[in-house]
A and B are shown apart, each in its own frame.
Chain A
Amino acid sequence: MNATTATGVAVGPRLRERRDAGRKLLVPYVTGGVSADWTDYLRAYADAGADAVEIGLPFSEPMIDGPTVQEASERALHRGATVRGVLADLRAARVDVPLIVMTYYHLVAREGHAEFCAALAEAGVRGLIVPDLPLEELAELEQATAAADVDLILVAAPSGAPSRLREIAARSRGFVYAMTAMVTTGERAELPASAAEFAARLKAHADLPVLLGFGISTPEHAVAGARAADGVVVASALMRGLLDGATPAESGAQVRALRAALDEVYG
């Protein structure tokens, strides 16, 4: 496996530096290829104060996505989105925030671990989330991501035993992605109170930033989630807007509102 010269902004150092400076982190999501102008949303997110952006590489059999992200993935696939196509768009986009790809293991494995990670790095992607690859199956991809200088970000679930949470915190890179509850992705009316408790438990194990995701839908949720965590990931609420016709400027305004709420309370 050859080390790859990575481009793009590194995830771990950027998030840690900002966390240590007292800023609450905000990572918005967009489904790659969901519209012809999808990379304009990346720029809008970055301009609105995103600390990193998560990009979904759509797969036909998503195991943890709720209806909104599923709909976005189906739309992207219908438009002909592919791994290589999305990465080519990203390479051309040149956005000055860390880029993180989220996808399912099949799309990684069929390309080959090293090849997939090298392609990410070449496109300026420096973080990877593979939600259907649990600890037991992780070793090979862990090596490949490390060789390509890509952070392999692990997802921690509230169902995890303390020993698993410790191991996830120890092996995750970039940040630890904490699920707010035992749910699929999706907009929610309320953020469960247990989310903060879970984030606090994880922070006890993790030196890395801990970000809460799954159901963070409003600025109020973001503020509540960031009370115990180092920040939040927002996906479905943004994708709902996009699917309903929000322009990059309008989605950027959604992110700006989240940013403002976090800064107002914690800034």
Chain B
Amino acid sequence: MHDPGATGRFGDYGGRYVPEALIPACAEVEEAFRAAWADAAFRRDLDRLLTVYAGRPTALTPAWNLSAELGITVLLKREDLAHTGSHKINNVLGQALLARRMGRTRLLAETGAGQHGVATATAAALLGLSATVFMGSKDMARQALNVHRMRLLGAEVVEVTSGSRTLKDATSEAMRHWVTCVDEAYYCLGSVMGPHPYPWMVREFQRVIGEEARAQCAAELPAAIPDYVVACIGGGSNAAGTFAGFAGTAAKLVGVEAAGGAAISGGKVAVMHGHRSYAIQDEHGQILEAESVAAGLDYPGIGPEHAHLHELGRARYVTVTDAEVIDAVRRLARSEGILPALESAHAIAWVLRAARDGELPPGATVLITLSGRGDKDTTTLMEIP
């Protein structure tokens, strides 16, 4: 998992497919990020915020009861314990510091489940920036709590009513809006997608998950490295950050997509939202609406580095159904006292299935990134018998 260089390519994927109007802005972000990432003072500022504000390092919690039930060792990387309730804060604090360093006064963002929007609103409040968050009207309805949180934090939430009224349309709208305000606004993208340098930059800001987890696994596991590293995938930022910590090890990497939005398992190569990767599409190339009980995973595409890892065979991408996800939420809540986000429960669901089917051999060690907590999903869960 390398620096994709000036072209922003991960193998055949990635790149910078944006209107000419946005090219200077992307180049400016890339230049600023390269300089900041090489600057010890920037890294110190970010590390301090991650520690004293976001609550890092997050715990690595053995899932004692589930492990006993399944006959394997399950370790949970607890991004749900991070401030604002998900891993999204890691990336946003990095990008917000970068925006401030670039002299920008306003953050633009898109959000699906609302977690990236809440993280953006939070970082903007902390650093004295304003925030505008684009969100599909369908997502606004099912994530009303997060909409309210964003507004409490001072962000403007812009309802997107075009297309399928979900994350893909919010992303398109945010990018279109960026064209009109590149001089004062910084586009704070929420996942490992978009034009170069975003997929790479967001992975670097999320790398902290994998690096912490690797050190914690070394203290927890006799073999130091887990046999499997599992994370849910929408765009794929928590998975990219987790995988980055284990890329050089023998651990098997598994990304879990929603069955109704499985870009790698059910999609084809596409150029969308500024990069080349996989996306689900119809026979004429029109991008399809993804369907998932988890608003954060109903994105029809996937970050370009995941497409590359898939092609290399370094990571494996699987799917689970909504029904398996709901079951996983309930199992984890009752066995460990942890209510995971519906997104994160995708990773749990695959592990439950793989353990049941014998795909995970008895005694296997499994690290699961619990990317966020499920408080935001309680209304959705209340509606499911």
Chain A residue nearest to B162 in the complex (CB): A70
**Of the candidates B17, B163, B182, B270, which one forms a contact with A132 in the assembled complex, judged by CB atoms under 8 Å apart?**
B17
A100 within 8 A of B: no
Q: How far is the CB of B380 from chain A (nearest CB, A)?
A: 26
Query: Do A60 and B286 have beta carbons less than 8 Å apart?
Result: yes
Q: How far is the CB of A132 from chain B (nearest CB, A)?
A: 5
Query: Do B180 and A184 have beta carbons less than 8 Å apart?
Result: yes
- With contacts defined as CB atoms under 8 Å apart, how many contacts are there between chain A and chain B in the complex? 109
Chain A residue nearest to B285 in the complex (CB): A110
A137 within 8 A of B: yes
Please name all residues of chain B whose beta carbon is closer than 8 Å to the beta carbon of A44 when the two chains form the complex: none
**Of the candidates B19, B163, B287, which one forms a contact with A64 in the assembled complex, judged by CB atoms under 8 Å apart?**
B19
Query: Do A63 and B18 have beta carbons less than 8 Å apart?
Result: yes
Chain A residue nearest to B268 in the complex (CB): A110
B271 within 8 A of A: yes
A92 within 8 A of B: no
**Of the candidates B16, B21, B175, B276, which one forms a contact with A159 in the assembled complex, judged by CB atoms under 8 Å apart?**
B21
Q: How far is the CB of A214 from chain B (nearest CB, A)?
A: 9
Query: Do B286 and A155 have beta carbons less than 8 Å apart?
Result: no
Query: Do A105 and B180 have beta carbons less than 8 Å apart?
Result: no
| A61/B180 contact (C-beta < 8 A), A110-B270, A157-B19 known | no
Please name all residues of chain B whose beta carbon is closer than 8 Å to the beta carbon of A59 when the two chains form the complex: 285-286
B383 within 8 A of A: no
On chain A, which size bracket covers the interface? 35 or more
- Of A60, A77, A132, the most chain B CB neighbours within 10 A belong to A60
For B, the interface residue count at a CB cutoff of 8 angstroms equals 34
| A136/B7 contact (C-beta < 8 A), A60-B163, A82-B284, A183-B179 known | yes
Query: Do B7 and A184 have beta carbons less than 8 Å apart?
Result: no
**Of the candidates A65, A82, A157, which one forms a contact with B176 in the assembled complex, judged by CB atoms under 8 Å apart?**
A65
Please name all residues of chain B whose beta carbon is closer than 8 Å to the beta carbon of A105 when the two chains form the complex: 17, 271
Please name all residues of chain A whose beta carbon is closer than 8 Å to the beta carbon of B287 when the two chains form the complex: 60-61, 106
Within 8 A of B (CB), among A14-65: 59-65
Q: How far is the CB of A240 from chain B (nearest CB, A)?
A: 16
Query: Do B20 and A168 have beta carbons less than 8 Å apart?
Result: yes
Chain B residue nearest to A105 in the complex (CB): B271
| A134/B286 contact (C-beta < 8 A), A70-B162, A159-B25 known | no
Q: How far is the CB of B257 from chain A (nearest CB, A)?
A: 19
A154 within 8 A of B: yes
Chain A residue nearest to B27 in the complex (CB): A161
Please name all residues of chain B whose beta carbon is closer than 8 Å to the beta carbon of A168 when the two chains form the complex: 20
| A154/B20 contact (C-beta < 8 A), A61-B168, A74-B163, A106-B271 known | yes
Annotate B263-290 by CB proximity to A: 1 below 8 A, 0 otherwise.
0000011111110100000001111000
Please name all residues of chain B whose beta carbon is closer than 8 Å to the beta carbon of A83 when the two chains form the complex: 284-285
B114 within 8 A of A: no
Within 8 A of B (CB), among A88-128: 104-107, 109-111
Q: Which residues of chain B have a CB within 8 Å of any CB of chain A?
A: 7, 15-25, 162-163, 168, 172, 175-176, 179-182, 268-274, 276, 284-287
In the complex, besides A60-B286, A106-B270, 8 extra interface pairs with C-beta distance below 8 angstroms are A64-B176, A66-B176, A106-B272, A107-B285, A109-B271, A134-B16, A137-B16, A184-B179
Nearest 8 Cβ contacts at the A-B interface: A157-B21, A106-B271, A60-B286, A82-B284, A157-B20, A60-B287, A64-B19, A110-B285
